[in-house]
Chains A and B, each alone.
Chain A
């Protein structure tokens, strides 16, 4: 759980230069797969019941935001770079990538790959796919990734991306699920097209209901995409999802309700897959609004509740305690040795006193839209905080419109993050001063400086130190309470086989279950 996803000996230099060395071996199947593991078998119809999906879903990659479209995309598309199950970057459409200075990135595009339509993939398609997320008119959610990009151009079989400042983690950004390679015409992709170069070809899709895909007979990857057909079903109701699995209507479901995990296990009809990743639940406080302007108040709240209790009761043990740290155990530079915050009413009282108060009254807005169990978690916190003279009034708000009316509007509320594979991505997205999604409006000069410096730091040890210092700042000065990392909990029919290592980068094996799993 605490092992970083990068081999310990790996330096940043070798990350930059050496990624192409992982090609053949790393690409086909994780190299460490035990020989005892059964060889993947071909065939079968793999049906996945997913607790997301709506009629408004579409093919425009810039608007994708949840597990159904993410998995659907992973089935029909390929990306420049793939994050392997062990967290390493492996080549996909980019055969290799390199950068001399961290600011100019050269991606060598694989030859001989064809789209489902029969068109051959060219570097121009890659440029068109990336440009979809760039520029004033773009509505893409990952537009901020491309703010530092000054130029994207084709150079023979290469695509060259120029940044205005070095960023050692840029290849990680290129693995983002919003950035599939799609066919371009006149430098533009068609955001309503199903066409991709992934392992499955779309047969039918009804948004919010289901998608059916058949195996791509011309798929270039060997040893991947084992199923004949993939059926992705939207099943929003957790009980209906569980029923579908128990009556063999589907083979895999995501987001198993923690309360029913033990019941499901005792029935013996399915196995539980519980993967600890970087996903976390959190309670951001508005650092601009009194009383949260005072770090002592923030610290008092951080010591005023029992983190282990939340893990046990809200996650039914399928998760781990977090130390107000958005960088998770699956990240490379995770600061495992940071001083833990136990439930300590006396320490909370001490910090209140430092802030010049003997009691504190705050309102916490929560809805289960933030995460399943958010309201219960808030109530548990409020119960425990009473011993530290802190009165937390839980304000239960409607799920509908939560992200519109409560999140980043109320001074203290519940939220969640899927976690990010790269520290820089997580910090830049939600903790840098003035970032659009900086939900706590926290601003710390030392942190901001470190963040920029770490991006172009070449020495791995120094870089680790910088990221650990940033984690410490967020944890002990930040305005976000992060009590726990939630596991990705899936349930699989007994017939479904997975590689020994299942990715902890996002749910459903990093959305790649469709490509990596098989029927035993």
Chain B
């Protein structure tokens, strides 16, 4: 068991290193954005005088390395700083949005992961059957449409008929039940978008294993096909499946801005776009770091889980 802890430790260290490099890249990239916050804040009505006054007030006149150092030391202490534009603490600004984004991601994952695993296993089981072909065709069709198109189609069918709301409103009084109902269409849209990837990976991994000699052996023992798949194939196919699920979860957290815009969902993606257009650099940096951490952590989790579920990998270390 010490092997696994050592591996997790190593991966965590590597993750921290990755995040450090990412922080440099993020800072550098945001420096490259044209224009500055003072200008964006005052918009078309900016004059040189008001610009200068506001820049001084916001500390935009410091050189870049100084600002990077101040930012990094702050982040290490868990302090993302305050938003330049609103003077609100970023943790407060991002916190609520992160909660919303995680809710939507988990909601979509709760719908899509079981669905795609089930479809994938069944498709592998009934390989080349009508069911296999139909589910493949459907999943690929849906993934081929842009997300906003899927979203509008769902709005046309399910929202304009009055079944589900076309936009999500989250207030202090919103209960989880309300939220599950009002966020159903965005979650369904995301489900449709990510299912194909996971389902086809499941199917491919299982079919790949079905050709191995030990499966042949199991069949020769007279086991039912269902039992062969579930008892013998699936556990060995878990590693690639876990990896693809983790990738899709990361996508659900970081890449849903289009769906957020269409359903007016107040998530992190919209906040980031907003912060970029407003040149609210500390907020952009914080969100980029959160997204990067989500990727690093989920990949770490996938690594660890696939090692744990694969005895051969476990014993090698």
Contact = CB atoms under 8 A, between A and B. Distances in A.
B142 interface: no
Contacts of B7: none
Interface in A105-162: 136-141, 143-144
A210 interface: yes
B34 A141 contact: no
B32 to A, nearest CB: 12
Interface string A239-275: 1100110110100000000000000000000000000
Contact of B34 (A65, A206, A212, A405): A405
Interface stretch (A51-59, A385-393, A441-449): A51-59
B169 A210 contact: yes
Contacts of B170: 209
A56 B86 contact: yes
B278 A65 contact: no
A495 interface: no
A243 B263 CA distance: 9
A403 interface: yes
Interface in A405-456: 405, 407, 436-437
A236 interface: yes
Contacts of A57: 86
Residue in A139, A236, A244, A437 whose Cβ sees the most chain B Cβ within 10 Å: A139
A401 B83 CA distance: 20
Contacts of B45: 65, 141, 437
- Secondary structure type dominating chain B contacts: helix
A137 B48 CA distance: 13
A247 B266 contact: no
A65 B165 contact: no
A423 to B, nearest CB: 19
Nearest to A137: B53
B167 A249 contact: yes
Contacts of B218: none
A400 interface: yes
A358 interface: no
Interface residues of B, number: 50
A136 to B, nearest CB: 7
A141 B44 CA distance: 9
A207 B152 contact: no
A500 B179 CA distance: 40
A256 B1 CA distance: 63
A243 B45 CA distance: 32
B132 interface: no
A246 B44 contact: no
B44 A407 contact: yes
B171 to A, nearest CB: 7
A284 B45 CA distance: 16
B49 A143 contact: yes
A321 B155 CA distance: 37
A62 B96 CA distance: 27
A403 B93 contact: no
A212 B171 contact: yes
Contacts of A240: 166-167, 261-264
Given A55-B275, A240-B261, A249 B165 contact: yes
Given A204-B172, A208-B274, A401-B34, A247 B49 contact: no
A244 B266 contact: no
A233 interface: yes
A56 B54 CA distance: 14
B74 interface: no
A400 B284 CA distance: 15
A281 B212 CA distance: 70
Interface string B276-291: 1110100100000000
Residue in B87, B152, B169 whose Cβ sees the most chain A Cβ within 10 Å: B169
6 contacts: A54-B277, A139-B50, A204-B171, A240-B167, A400-B276, A403-B44
**Top 5 A-B pairs ranked by shortest CB distance?**
A56-B85, A404-B35, A436-B47, A141-B45, A247-B166
Given A55-B283, A208-B274, 20 more contacts: A54-B274, A55-B85, A55-B86, A56-B278, A139-B54, A141-B50, A143-B47, A204-B172, A206-B96, A207-B86, A208-B270, A210-B171, A240-B167, A243-B159, A243-B160, A243-B167, A244-B167, A247-B160, A249-B165, A404-B40
